[in-house]
Structure 1
Amino acid sequence: MNHPVQGTDPKTQRRAVIAATLGNVLEIYDFIIFGIFAVAISKTFFPSGDEYAALMFTFMTFAAGFVVRPIGALVLGQYADKVGRKKALSFTLILMAIGTVIPALCPSYDSIGIAATVILVFGRLLQGFSAGGEIGSNVAMLVENASSRNRALFCSFQQMAQGGGVLLGGIVGYVIAVVYGQERMLQDYWRLAFFVGLVIGPVGWYIRRVLPETPEFERSKKKESVDSFLEGVKANFGRILIGIAIMIFWTVATQVSNYFTTYAVRELHMPVASTYLGQISSGLTLLAICPLVGMLADRIGPYKPMAFGAALAGVLAYPLFKMLVATPTLPTLLLVQIAISVTLGLYAACAPLVMSDIFPTRYRATGIGTSYALGVMIFGGLTPMIVTTLIQISGDKLIIGLYLTAAALLSLALIGALVRMQRKPVPA
């Protein structure tokens, strides 16, 4: 395992955590609101007449953002490993801001036809490229500013920030739905959510101007240069595969949680405002549980909480969705989303630390970003489209529970293999 660099002063640690976490909250918010407002986007940018087809095209566009994530992870990860975490984080935020303004301003399909769809897809690709490079740099920034006593806690802020992004998306969606009503929100007022996301520009400037580079990166840069692209992939191929395996339950549970807004409205015919309250409850749960799990993992190690979270999801996922389908009320929706968020928090609060310890410092941002991006692309980005298609074909609304159960059990088995695996020490 890597040995954390000691001597990072508490003030610098706090600044690093605040800057990296706040930036990640806004990055995640900008990326997930596309999924949260999928129904509204499908009505705006795709031909009307076939609701299922329009929704599927929207989810294909949603998935496109995940397809380019590995490219962003490789390009921007190499950039972060060569020039530093801080510059890479600033650049990803600026790219995300540009990608976010496109759906906020782009005319509808009824106004400019297929050009609207093309412009929307371009904006989503830009968001995906940015997000691909952000995760690796963000985790590297957090872990490299931590001491040996709080590495798991610092890494847990990555998932806590994702919860913050979900919370912000839920609050914005709920306010828009309540103030303007469901019908007006589905027309054009959903765009307000994307304008809210544009505040990431100043945050990018703050990170670039204020935050120092991590001591561990500076020491590693002095010792050894970054491998070339092919050398890096060859030397770390096995570690990347392990990182992808770690991502399975993490990304599927995340996307299932984000899919609730579509699932509750389309399949359970619940009011759209209720679904945003569900997102708020999910975000609050992650904000509360992730730091607690991080502190626990600093005492007992990260594998036990991860395994418990995956096992809990494997047992509870199907019964939870069965209860929700049988009783599609707001209290039931909140209970189900909170329960799934607890299992996700147990797992995902620890996963960044496990992934960061797999890779050497000089390849950490690239390795984490590539593993994360490939895992999300393969197992997460297609989740809304797969679940929607399976429900459409089978008519079984509980398939989503089986899908989440399968992901949890697969990750649980892989965690067991990881614990038993004898890994060589990772060089610094």
Structure 2
Amino acid sequence: VATISIYMILYMPTFAVTNLKIPADAAFLGGISAGIITLCGVPLVGHLADRVGPAKVMTYAAIAAFVLAYPLFKLMTSRPSVIVMVIVIAVLGIIMSFYFGPLPALLSNLFPAAIRGSGLSVAYNVGVTLLGGIAPLVLTWLLDVTGSLDAPSLYYMAISAISLIGLVVVRKRYGQR
């Protein structure tokens, strides 16, 4: 969810300019707002995760991503404007903060100290490469195949579902809270 949120935030300005006719000079306002939200939100969410458990916070973020993906895209495509685009991207920034804040703690707890650096690096980078790195290709393909401007939400939902499955496994198998 963290990685696909980043790619969606980076993709949205191009999507908005190309498909929704949002002015190019205003398209990156959403990214700026998401960046500010993340800058301020991640430490606060990390603190929350220290109290209630990283997997729990991340589970709620993944559920929110899954539930909100389609309505957010529908809002943006049905009412294209700079303010709507900024709001949608800001919501993605909030979701990203709630996933990124606890992520390092969760991943660190999954590996013994002797291999923690390698385990964390491989686990994170495989996910980023396989699911995030191909995001622009998949998003463009979905737009072409479906002809629907809401189609990118399907990829966001799919990644959210995969994240939820991973979080269930982490909570049950590794006892993460």
Instruction: Specify the alignment match of 1:316 in structure 2.
Output: 68
Amino acid at match of 2:167: I
Asked if 1:413 is matched to 2:160, the reply is no
Whichever residue aligns with residue 163 of structure 2, its letter is S
1:404 and 2:156 are equivalent in the alignment = yes
Aligned residues: 175
- Report the 3-state secondary structure (helix = DSSP H, G, I; strand = E; otherwise coil) of the residue aligned with 1:398: coil
Mark the runs of 5 or more structure 2 residues left unpaired by the alignment: none
Q: What RMSD in Å do the two structures reach over aligned CA positions?
A: 1.4
Aligned counterpart, 2:117 = 365
Pairwise CA distance, 1:365 = 2.1
User: Which secondary structure state, in structure 2, belongs to the residue aligned with residue 303 of structure 1?
Assistant: helix
TM-score, with length taken from structure 1? 0.40
Deviations 1:130-189 (A, max 9, x none): xxxxxxxxxxxxxxxxxxxxxxxxxxxxxxxxxxxxxxxxxxxxxxxxxxxxxxxxxxxx
- Work out the CA distance in 2 between the residues paired with 1:283 and 1:324: 19
Matched residue SS, 2:149: coil
**Which of 13, 33, 42 is residue 261 of structure 1 equivalent to?**
13
CA distance in 1, matches of 2:160, 2:142: 19
What is the identity, as a one-letter code, of the residue corresponding to 1:296? Answer: L
Residue 349 (1) aligns with residue 120 (2): no
Aligned mates of 2:140, 2:33 — CA distance in 1: 23
Q: CA deviation at 1:338?
A: 0.9
The answer to whether residue 110 in structure 2 is matched with residue 329 in structure 1 is no
> 2:48 is aligned with what amino acid?
L
Deviation at 1:352, TM superposition (A): 1.1
Displacement after TM superposition at 1:289 (Å)? 1.2
Q: Residue type of the partner of 1:321?
A: F
- Give me the whole-angstrom Cα distance separating, in 2, the residues matched to 1:284 and 1:317: 21
Q: Give 1:172-183 correspondences, 5 Å limit.
A: none
How does the TM-score come out when normalised to structure 2? 0.93
The alpha carbon displacement at 1:344 in A equals 1.3
> Alignment identity in percent?
33
Partner amino acid for 1:419? R
Alpha-carbon distance between aligned partners in 2 of 1:402 and 1:284, rounded to the nearest angstrom: 26
- 1:213-266 deviation per Cα after TM superposition (whole angstroms, max 9, x unaligned): xxxxxxxxxxxxxxxxxxxxxxxxxxxxxxxxxxxx222222111111211111
Q: Of 382, 385, 390, which residue of structure 1 is paired with 2:137?
A: 385
1:64-89 deviation digits (Å, cap 9, x = unpaired): xxxxxxxxxxxxxxxxxxxxxxxxxx
CA radius of gyration, larger in: 1
Q: Is the 8 A contact 2:138 2:155 kept in 1?
A: no
Distance 1:365 1:271 in 2: 43
Map of 1:245 onto structure 2: none
Q: Aligned to 1:335, what secondary structure does the other structure show?
A: helix
One-letter identity of the residue aligned with 2:42:
C
Partner of 2:22: 270
Distance 1:388 1:346 in 2: 27
Question: Which residue identity is paired with 1:403?
Answer: Y
Q: Which of 40, 44, 47 is 1:292 aligned to?
A: 44
Q: CA deviation at 1:413?
A: 2.4
- Give 1:410 deviation, angstroms: 2.1
Letter in 2 for 1:308: Y
Counterpart position of 1:303: 55
Report matched runs for 1:18-417 at 5 Å.
249-417=1-169
- Match of 1:315, as an amino acid? V
Deviations for 1:402-428, whole angstroms, at most 9, x for unmatched residues?
2111211221122122111146xxxxx
Letter matched to residue 312 of structure 1: A
Q: Which runs of 5+ in 1 are unaligned?
A: 1-248, 424-428
Deviation beyond 6 Å, 4+ runs, structure 1:
none
- 3-state DSSP of counterpart to 2:148: coil
Alpha-carbon distance in 2 for matches of 1:275, 1:422 = 42
Distance in 2 (CA, whole Å) between partners of 1:361 and 1:418 is: 18
**1:368 positional shift:** 1.4
**Cα distance in 1 between the residues matched to 2:110 and 2:168:** 16
Greater RCO (CA < 8 Å, at least 6 residues apart)? 2
AA at the equivalent of 1:363: I
> d(CA) in 2 for partners of 1:398 and 1:286?
25
Cα distance in 1 between the residues matched to 2:28 and 2:18: 14
Aligned mates of 2:27, 2:135 — CA distance in 1? 18
